Amino acid sequence: MSSSSALERTINKVISQADADFITQIDSSYQESLKNLEASRTKLEAEYNRILESAKKQADNLKRQIVGSSRLSVRNKQLILIEKAVNDTFEKAKTLLASSNKESGYRILMTKILKDSIKMIDSGELIVECNKNDIKLIEKAIADSFNETNKLKIKISDHPINAIGGIRVKSADESMTFDNTLDSRIEGLKPLIRKSIAQMLRGEV
């Protein structure tokens, strides 16, 4: 065999081996690329799902905020209506009470209020405050209910108070005060009236 033939076979063998190695490398790179592509696809799907889930949560939160805001707005409007109804009711009550001070029922009520109020102040000397229209009525109630033999000293204040009716009694040293004006009684009823109106608006009564 000539040296040239041997060299040619050697070259062909090297080339064939190189081709085989090259094909192996290509195949290996291809398989690696497939793995990377699959991994990337999985990551992309996971990221897509995460973004989708995040968007869904944001949409749900926004929906809850809108619903909550609407409910709050409705509740605020309801509270405004209730407060207006309460105030209107009490303004009418005040007007009626202010115009009833000459009726016999009012005089009886004032006498009772006077007796009840005096019991609340543990003092031998008392000052009674009332509005200017009720001074004579209170003077008569004191004279009728507490005669001269009674040790209790009751004085009507020289300074009328701004009230639709009733009285405010305090000890002479002003350390104790009991507010039994019609105004304070009305204020005490407000929570009950407010509750009743709220129940009416909700259709509970």
Rounded to whole angstroms, the Cα distance separating 165 from 161 reads 9
**Alpha-helical runs (H) found in the chain:** 3-98, 104-120, 135-145, 182-201
Predicted confidence band of residue 201 (pLDDT cuts 50, 70, 90): low
Query: In which region does residue 174 sit, left (phi positive, over 0), alpha (psi from -120 to 50) or beta (all else)?
Result: left
Residue entry with tokens 């897509």 = 48
Classify the phi-psi angles of 135: left when phi > 0, otherwise alpha if psi is within -120 to 50, otherwise beta: alpha
pTM score, whole prediction: 0.54
Over 70: is that where the pLDDT of 61 sits? Answer: yes
The more confidently predicted of residues 131 and 187 is 131
For residues 192, 194, 200 and 204, what is the CA-based torsion angle, rounded to 10 degrees? -50
Percentage of residues of the chain with pLDDT beyond 70? 65
Average pLDDT, integer, range 57-81:
74
Single-letter amino acid code for the residue at 183: D
Chain center to CA of 164: 33
